[in-house]
Amino acid sequence: MIEEILIYGMVQGSLLALLALGFSLVYGVGGILNLAHGAFYLITAYLIYWILPYFIFIDNYLLRFGITAAISLVIAVVISAVTYLGLMEPLKESHIGIVLITFALAFFFEQFVKFVGDPKTHFIIPFVPGTVTFLGVTFPAQLVALVVGSLILVTLVTLFINRSTIGKSIRAVSQDFEAAQLVGINTNMILMATVMISALLIGFAAVLYAPGNFIRPNMGWRYLLLAFSVTIFGGMGSIPGSIAGSFIMGYATTITDFLISPTFSVIIPIVVILVMLLVRPQGLLGKKELY
């Protein structure tokens, strides 16, 4: 039992980290509550599903999947940039405006996928086949790719934010928007870069997690809710907070699954968040002034 909780909690945590990191980043930098966040998971997953048959001539499934995933990620990131410039940027002064436009956008993508494709549930074949037995627990090998991929990406993004020039600008903007503008940082570009990173991260979540899982047009909302809750839990705009929050939530869900009942694994995390909000509204590692 302990082993299972350890492993599945890790898997859940890795997934949540990928989902939440970008969401938190975008809020921290631009104060943008991006309700279209989950939609980027949706479009990446569907792009993979749609493009995959075109590369049927490649016999090696891993290679075929890799090429498809790369193309899908690029398209998703481009879409994120375009929607930022066209829709979010003009409205970024108004909080409610941003909420509405990103909500409408998420709704649009859901309907788009439904219209272009069909409303049925589909399945993408995992690119890592078979099962793995670790600590006496047998689980799909695809999940190993998810955990490893997530750890690498989260490390890379953290390094990027801390070390690179763009990363430093991102941090500067998130600490003080106006001061950053004063010292000559193009805040608009930085915001766009952040939105793109966030789309890339959740896109990777789709690449790693959608295969072996079902995809359907309305799934974006669920991932949005997960990202939103974990971010609030960890503290809006705090990267370490989001990562810590992801794993705590991941384990909380898994423990509920195993020790209480799967029926409650939806409610328990929400209750945890609610309690968190009441006890410590700024989240685990959030900045006090943000709330």
Partner 1 sequence: MESKQIAAIVVIVVIIGAIAVVGFMFIPTAPYGAVKIGQLVTPGAPAGTDSDHIVVVGILDPMTEIQGEGAWYGSYLACDEINTAGGITVGGETYYFGLISEDTSEADTDLDISKGTAAATKIITEDNAQFLLGGFRTESLLAYVETVMDEDMIFIDTGASTDSFCQNVIDDYARYKYFFRAMPINSTSLASSLLRYILYLDGYLTAVTGANITKVAIIREALDWTAGMDLFLNGYLPLYGMEVVADVAYPITAEATDFATYWSQIDAAGAQITIPIISAQGGILMMTQYAQAQPGCVLAGIDVMSQLDSYWGETGGGCAYEVVLQSTLRTNKTTKTVAFWDAFLNHYNSEPLYTAVGSYDAMYMYAQAIESAQSFVSDDVVTAMEGFTRASPFIGAGGRVAWTLGHDLLESPDYSYTLFCQWQDDGTKQCVSSGGLIYPDSIVTASLQLPQWTGWSINP
Partner 2 sequence: MMGLQVDMQSLIGRFMVWAKTFRGSITLLSLFGLLLVPVTGNVYLSTIIVTAMIYSIFAASWDFLAGFAGQVSFGHAAFFGISAYFTAAFVEFVGVHWIVALFIGGGYAIIFSLLIGIPCLRLKGPYLALGTLAFSLIIWNLFLTGTWLGGTEGISGLPRLGNIFVVFYIVASFMVASLIIMRAIVDSRLGTILKAIRDDETCADASGINTTTYKLIAFMISGFFAGIAGGLFALHLTAVNPAVYQTLYSFYAIIMAAIGGMVTIYGSVIGAFLFTVLSELLRPLAAASLLIFATILILIIRFAEEGVMNPVLERLQDVWDLIRRR
Instruction: Rank residues 99 and 284 by Cβ distance to partner 1 and give the closer one.
Output: 99
Helix, strand or coil, per DSSP, at residue 131: strand
Closest-CA residue to 160 (of 151, 169, 147): 169
- Pick from partner 1, partner 2, none: which does 262 bind, CB < 5 to 8 A by kind? partner 1
* Out of 33, 157, 257, 276, the residue judged to bind partner 1 by CB under 8 A: 257
- Pick from partner 2, partner 1, none: which does 134 bind, CB < 5 to 8 A by kind? none
- Pick from partner 2, partner 1, none: which does 164 bind, CB < 5 to 8 A by kind? none
Instruction: Rank residues 179 and 274 by Cβ distance to partner 2 and give the closer one.
Output: 274
* Binding residues for partner 1 restricted to 99-158, rule: CB under 8 A: 114, 119-123, 125, 130-131, 137-140, 142-143
* Out of 4, 31, 81, 158, the residue judged to bind partner 1 by CB under 8 A: 4
Number of residues that bind partner 1 (CB under 8 A): 35
Task: Phi first, then psi: give them for residue 138, nearest 5 degrees.
Answer: -100, 130
Helix, strand or coil, per DSSP, at residue 133: strand
Distance (Å) of CA 182 to CA 29, 51, 90, 185: 16, 45, 20, 7
Give Cβ neighbours of residue 206 (< 8 Å, ≥ 6 apart): 40, 41, 42, 44, 45, 48, 72
Q: What are 97's two structure tokens?
A: 């405006």
Q: What are 40's two structure tokens?
A: 């980027």
Residues that bind partner 2 (CB under 8 A): 27, 33, 86-87, 90-91, 94-97, 99-101, 103-105, 107-108, 110-112, 114-115, 119, 221, 225, 228-229, 232, 236, 263, 266-267, 270-271, 273-274, 277-278, 281-282, 291
Shortest Cβ distance from residue 245 to partner 1 (Å)? 18
- Pick from partner 1, partner 2, none: which does 104 bind, CB < 5 to 8 A by kind? partner 2
Residue 281 has what DSSP assignment?
T
Shortest Cβ distance from residue 118 to partner 2 (Å)? 9
Q: What is the largest CA-CA distance in the chain?
A: 58
Shortest Cβ distance from residue 42 to partner 1 (Å)? 13
* Binding residues for partner 1 restricted to 176-215, rule: CB under 8 A: 209, 212-214
* Out of 116, 189, 266, 275, the residue judged to bind partner 1 by CB under 8 A: 266
Closest-CA residue to 195 (of 17, 31, 15): 31
For residue 131, what are the β-bridge partners?
140
Shortest Cβ distance from residue 230 to partner 1 (Å)? 15
Distance CA 13, CA 243 (A): 8
Distance CA 15, CA 233 (A): 15
Instruction: Write the DSSP string, 10-62.
Output: HHHHHHHHHHHHHHHHHHHHH----TTHHHHHHHHHHHHHHHGGGGTT---HH
Instruction: Rank residues 11 and 276 by Cβ distance to partner 2 and give the closer one.
Output: 276
Residues that bind partner 1 (CB under 8 A): 4, 8, 11-12, 15, 114, 119-123, 125, 130-131, 137-140, 142-143, 209, 212-214, 216, 218, 222, 254, 257-258, 261-263, 265-266
